[in-house]
Chain A
Amino acid sequence: MLSERNAGKWLLYLVLIVIGIITLAPFAWMLSASFMPTGQANTYPPRFFPGSITTEQYEALFSRLKLLRYLLNSVIVSVSVTIISLFVNSMAGYAFAKYRFPGRDRIFRLLLAAMVIPGQVTMLPLFLMLNRMGLINTYWGIIIPGMAGIFGIFLIRQYVFSIPDSLIEAARIDGAGDFRIYWSLILPLCKPILVTLAIFTFMGTWNDFLWPLIVMTKDTMYTLPVALANLMGEHAQDTELMMAGSVLTILPVMLVFLALQKYYIRGIMMGGVKG
């Protein structure tokens, strides 16, 4: 009986490890190939370790292929969208949760209903609008449409509900104005949900592809994913170079995720309970 249970236990670990290998092997191979000299990844059987370690692929990306510029573009748009949308969404979420005004519930329901509209529907007119405003190939082309998000407003509203009205009343009696209450009372109390929302927004903007592909047509303005997809067109044969580019695209989001994974997982749960 005991040995049967033990066998079951080992089988469980075996299965879990095999799944782990399958999920991580592509990353391991990517990392390893990125340190190989040109041509070494195209061998049979596939190599899992570089014969000799070289950073020539990374050097080529930074010196010849303007990777630093793309990295900078990605950082600028992702950080800007995250910061701006946090303010915009938290103000709106707070107002929906704690103020009474005519039309509040109707507007909120309209916003929720609008979540069913896929973003792709807006892209053609949005492109024409931004084109007319001269914002194609500028950071604003990505920042402006990302400024406010319905899901973000929803998350903050749910969270602010849990803040007792008495706290707000007390602050008001102490003479704090509306903005002061939002800034020095609500925002600090909302810190956990703001961190969650910040990671989601940052990673979403960093990983986004279709919209940056549409608005960033000049090569100096590419974000990393767009640059990588374009690099694929010209350097499809240079496996090792492409792997180095993939490593650099993935690394920043991986680090953010590893540092703040608790908050990220919590965000998924909130989305999960929502339905």
Chain B
Amino acid sequence: MNPSTRAAWLFLAPALSAITVFFFLPVIVAFVMSLTDFDIYSLADISKARFVGVNNYWNLLHDALFWKALRNTTYFVVVGVPLSIATSLGAAILLNNRFLKFKSLFRLAYFTPVVTTLVAVAVVWRYIYHPRFGLMNYWLGLFGVNPIDWLGDPVWAMPALIILAVWKNFGYNMIIFIAGLQSIPDELYEAAHIDGAGKWQQFRNITIPMLAPTTLFVGIITVIGYFQFFAEPYVMTQGGPLNSTLSIVLLMYQEGFRWWRMGYSSSIAFVLFFIVFVITLIQLKVQKSRVV
């Protein structure tokens, strides 16, 4: 080995060995575990774990709780992501106004929820959603809306978590959208203006198509992030009422670390992996087809 190659490997050694031992190895072990009945007895004596093939996955398909968690998570993603992206884009467009003063102050305010601790924010919102003393019902009451039992009603619990998530996250994508908006050349708008296109036509025919790559990127990272939601239901509802906010990761956590059914829990983790993988493939595909 020449000295330069040896130096390179020395530089890489800490990172590569940490990633191999504490990331790649666990991924492989998790897959093997998902093919066993690893449970609390195996925890004490690993020889108690038996190979069961795809049994865990088969059982998942017949587990009403798993389907419930998958449905809830999909609901969270399908409603939450478009809402979140629309809010981000709206805020970005407002803030991108050239004549606006105090721009950085507004941006800072909108960004505050992003950097704060999710658990602390979830705690605060639990009280904001209080049916009698909470701010939410108080404000809605000013508009004549009857009190809603946000976290106690299976119909409203998920919308409550979605509102929290949108409030918490929109500032992040807003920043990316602002960068995207600023990269659209002014000449396009000027030309459209000369051709007599109104504001709405400019938005539809220039802004939207020019932002398409940004939107795709933002959409994918948001979908992947939302599929992993956990802390909100853990802190605010424990997955209830009636499992209406049980998420995939919360179910994985409960199966694995509360009931120690670690084989079964691993199979849930791999379903999550599969979902994220498929979404990423779709992104790559769409990106490729755009280039051509």
| B26 near A126: Cβ-Cβ < 8 Å | yes
1/0 contact string of A89-114 vs chain B (CB within 8 Å) = 10110111001111010010001001
| A148 near B94: Cβ-Cβ < 8 Å | no
| A246 near B123: Cβ-Cβ < 8 Å | yes
CB contacts (< 8 Å) of A273 on chain B: these are 179
- Indicate if A57 sits at the interface (CB-CB under 8 A): no
Q: What is the minimal beta-carbon distance from B175 to any residue of chain A, in angstroms?
A: 5
| B19 near A148: Cβ-Cβ < 8 Å | yes
Q: What is the minimal beta-carbon distance from B14 to any residue of chain A, in angstroms?
A: 5
- Indicate if B172 sits at the interface (CB-CB under 8 A): yes
| B9 near A232: Cβ-Cβ < 8 Å | no
CB contacts (< 8 Å) of A127 on chain B: these are 257
| B94 near A16: Cβ-Cβ < 8 Å | yes
| A92 near B15: Cβ-Cβ < 8 Å | yes
- Indicate if B4 sits at the interface (CB-CB under 8 A): yes
How distant is the Cα of A16 from the Cα of B91 in the complex, in angstroms? 8
Chain A interface residue count: which class? 35 or more
User: Which residues in chain A, 18-50, are within 8 Å of chain B measured between CB atoms?
Assistant: 19-20, 22-27, 29-30, 33, 41-46
| B217 near A22: Cβ-Cβ < 8 Å | no
Candidates A87, A114, A213, A228; contact of B23 at CB < 8 Å: A114
| A101 near B26: Cβ-Cβ < 8 Å | no
- Indicate if B134 sits at the interface (CB-CB under 8 A): yes
Known A27-B112, A91-B12, A116-B277: A121·B269 in contact at CB below 8 Å:
yes
| B22 near A147: Cβ-Cβ < 8 Å | yes
- Indicate if B30 sits at the interface (CB-CB under 8 A): yes
| B110 near A120: Cβ-Cβ < 8 Å | no
Chain B interface residue count: which class? 35 or more
Candidates A12, A111, A182; contact of B19 at CB < 8 Å: A111
CB contacts (< 8 Å) of A23 on chain B: these are 109-110, 112-113, 167, 171
- Indicate if B117 sits at the interface (CB-CB under 8 A): yes
| A148 near B18: Cβ-Cβ < 8 Å | yes
CB contacts (< 8 Å) of B12 on chain A: these are 91-92, 95-96, 107
Known A19-B110, A46-B135, A125-B33: A254·B230 in contact at CB below 8 Å:
no
CB contacts (< 8 Å) of B99 on chain A: these are 9
Known A124-B269, A250-B116: A214·B8 in contact at CB below 8 Å:
no
- Indicate if B235 sits at the interface (CB-CB under 8 A): yes
| A123 near B117: Cβ-Cβ < 8 Å | no
1/0 contact string of A120-155 vs chain B (CB within 8 Å) = 111111111100000000000000110110100100
CB contacts (< 8 Å) of A100 on chain B: these are 4-5, 8
User: Which residues in chain A, 68-84, are within 8 Å of chain B measured between CB atoms?
Assistant: none
1/0 contact string of B25-61 vs chain A (CB within 8 Å) = 1110110010000000001000000000000000000
How distant is the Cα of A24 from the Cα of B128 in the complex, in angstroms? 13
How distant is the Cα of A117 from the Cα of B117 in the complex, in angstroms? 24
- Indicate if B80 sits at the interface (CB-CB under 8 A): no
| A99 near B112: Cβ-Cβ < 8 Å | no
Known A20-B106, A26-B125, A239-B127: A153·B120 in contact at CB below 8 Å:
no
| B11 near A122: Cβ-Cβ < 8 Å | no
Known A23-B113, A120-B272: A210·B253 in contact at CB below 8 Å:
yes
How distant is the Cα of A41 from the Cα of B130 in the complex, in angstroms? 11
CB contacts (< 8 Å) of B23 on chain A: these are 114, 117, 122, 145
Considering the complex, give the chain A residue whose CB is closest to the CB of B104. A261
CB contacts (< 8 Å) of A41 on chain B: these are 127, 133
How distant is the Cα of A239 from the Cα of B123 in the complex, in angstroms? 9
How distant is the Cα of A121 from the Cα of B216 in the complex, in angstroms? 25
CB contacts (< 8 Å) of B220 on chain A: these are 275
Candidates A16, A224, A253; contact of B116 at CB < 8 Å: A253
Q: What is the minimal beta-carbon distance from A99 to any residue of chain B, in angstroms?
A: 4
| B175 near A224: Cβ-Cβ < 8 Å | no
Q: What is the minimal beta-carbon distance from A16 to any residue of chain B, in angstroms?
A: 5
Candidates A96, A101, A250; contact of B120 at CB < 8 Å: A250
Q: What is the minimal beta-carbon distance from B91 to any residue of chain A, in angstroms?
A: 6
Given contacts A15-B94, A226-B119, 19 further A-B contacts (CB under 8 A): A12-B94, A26-B167, A44-B133, A44-B138, A88-B15, A91-B11, A95-B8, A95-B9, A111-B19, A117-B276, A118-B272, A122-B30, A125-B27, A128-B43, A128-B262, A178-B4, A207-B117, A261-B108, A269-B176
- 8 A/B residue pairs, CB under 8 Å, sorted by A: A23-B167, A25-B135, A43-B133, A122-B22, A125-B26, A148-B19, A179-B7, A275-B283
In the A-B complex, the 8 residue pairs with the smallest Cβ-Cβ separation, listed nearest first, are: A275-B217, A92-B15, A99-B8, A122-B26, A125-B29, A178-B7, A95-B11, A225-B119
